[in-house]
Structure formats: C-alpha cells, structure tokens
Amino acid sequence: MDEEAWLSSAARCRISTATSVCVSITILLIISIGIFGGVYLYRQFKAHEVSTKGQRTAGGGGEGRIGERRRRRGRYRCK
C-alpha cells in the first residue's frame, strides 16, 4: 500500500520541487565556500612565501644586501 496516499499528486510535486531547490542551494553554498576558502588560503600562502623568501640566505636576516644597506643608511645619517 502507498504510504503517501493521503498526499495529492500536486503536493508531491511541490515537495519534490522544494527538496530540489534546497539541495541546489546547499550545493551552491558549499561550492562557493570552497572557492572563497581556496582563494583565501592561496593568498595567505603566497603572502607567507613572499615574506619568507629572503630568509633562505646565509645571513639569516631575510633582507639580503639591500636590507643591510638600508640599515646602514639609517644609522649614519648626517644632520
């Protein structure tokens, strides 16, 4: 026996349509969160990569020769 016999065919159609809409909205929400989260993580990774790029040098200062010149230039300024 049909358990949903008390529902009319129009009501079944509405329920099916509402379910499809809810599932579609949920899928779009999950995909958009994944895209925005991926872009955010990619930008964080690139920013970290750029900030630590110079720290691989033997000096360990992370700035290289240009940073040393800037530091020296700041210390010995004439007044």
In a domain, 43, yes or no: yes
In a domain, 31, yes or no: yes
Q: How far apart are CA 74 and CA 71, in angstroms?
A: 5
In a domain, 45, yes or no: yes
Instruction: Look at residue 61 and tell me whether its pLDDT is greater than 80.
Output: no
Mean pLDDT of 51-60: 64
Q: Which of 77, 78, 53, 79 is nearest to 66 (CA)?
A: 53
pTM of the model: 0.51
In a domain, 37, yes or no: yes
- Roughly how many angstroms between the first and final C-alpha of the chain, as a whole number? 99
In a domain, 44, yes or no: yes
What is the structure's pLDDT at 2?
Answer: 57
Give residue 42's domain range: 27-51
What is the structure's pLDDT at 13?
Answer: 78
Number of domains comprising the chain: 1
In a domain, 5, yes or no: no
In a domain, 2, yes or no: no
